[in-house]
Structure 1
């Protein structure tokens, strides 16, 4: 499958993830960016839900971090959003378990990473013991 080439991206917005109220603030920011990028209601819901799961993971498991929201456009003109969630937590020691539905090291239902991955078009995770975790996802508007 050929992957879309990216055109130069507009400026990115960065949001800190330090307190519980940041979870709601980041959801609103992602929804506004999705509307601006031309996402339909289903696309908005999917990208906001994925962002919510990833930001919550960074807050609960990574001790906080940041969310970067970028509007992207492919060379063929497709519009989308790229989200990058970073934390400086302990990293994810067992990725296979972390992606399995029902697995959780906290109080949640265990659908975070796997659920977020199913809601986006592109998913990349970088993690290491003691190095934190960075998750970058992209969803394209239809």
Structure 2
């Protein structure tokens, strides 16, 4: 019985910390959108990525959903992602590079995340391409 109480208390204490860490770091802006993509498709992902940012409401940003749909037509179903690198440019700016995996090939992504005055991380720029050299730093693609 005592072990059960300790386990419940431990889980209760860790859950809020885990949720805060998952939702309040530079990478969280990327992963939230990828989770939205899994559940709701390309438009849901883009809407998640631009929420509360200067890009919110931008028709150009929303048009990126078409790019994701074209990749689905070419590479098949989205199956997951890999975070390649999170590079801190300053206290408030991170550059995150990642790979979106589809059944027949990868899509490479790059995000610039910015921590606003409210403490929330938002996207200020993002790019996707099926060719790694078009969006990833050459040092990552070809090695250092």
- Does the pair score TM above 0.5? no
More helix by share: 2
Larger radius of gyration: 2
| TM-score normalised per structure 1 | 0.39
Higher RCO structure (Cα 8 Å, ≥6 apart): 1
TM-score, normalization by structure 2: 0.38
